[in-house]
Amino acid sequence: MFFCLTEGDEIGTGATDDTEEETPTNQMAGKSPNFCVLLHGSLKVEGMVALVQLGPDWFGMLYSQADSKKKSNLMMSLFEPGSEPLPWLGRISQLGPASVHVEKMPFKED
């Protein structure tokens, strides 16, 4: 199961209810960044997707999708199970930076 907060959700402001004790854990809750919120923000700003592996030969992607001008969600789409869910992409397990596989770029650098 995958759960993340959307941009409009509140993420621990450090404010407490009258019935809740003010403990060090409660005080720090609003100060530690939530990974899902950080990931969502960076994917949204950069306009990118993140490829994820959910299990052996099971992949998907995370991306930001806007519902309106004020609200966007972190979405996860799953690919068909298998080693090549997107035939035009090849084996996802073999993806990596081009610099690892290519010693010299095929074009002239300035």
Taking the C-alpha atoms of residue 84 and residue 76, their distance in angstroms, rounded to an integer, is: 18
CA distances from 63 to 15, 49, 68, 84, 108 (A): 30, 5, 16, 20, 34
Q: What is the pLDDT of residue 74?
A: 83
**What pLDDT sits at residue 12?**
38
The counts of H helices and E strands in the chain are 3, 3
End-to-end CA distance of the chain: 48
pLDDT value for 15:
37
Instruction: Give me the pLDDT at residue 64, please.
Output: 84
- The predicted pLDDT at position 41 comes to 77
Strand bridging mode 50-55 / 58-66:
antiparallel
Q: What is the DSSP string of 39-81?
A: HHHHHHHHT--EEEEEETTEEEEEEEEESSSS-EEEEEEEPPS
What per-residue confidence (pLDDT) applies to 43? Answer: 81
Split the chain (110 residues) into runs of 10 and give each run's mean pLDDT.
Answer: 43 40 54 76 80 88 82 86 87 76 62
Give the per-residue pLDDT at 17.
42
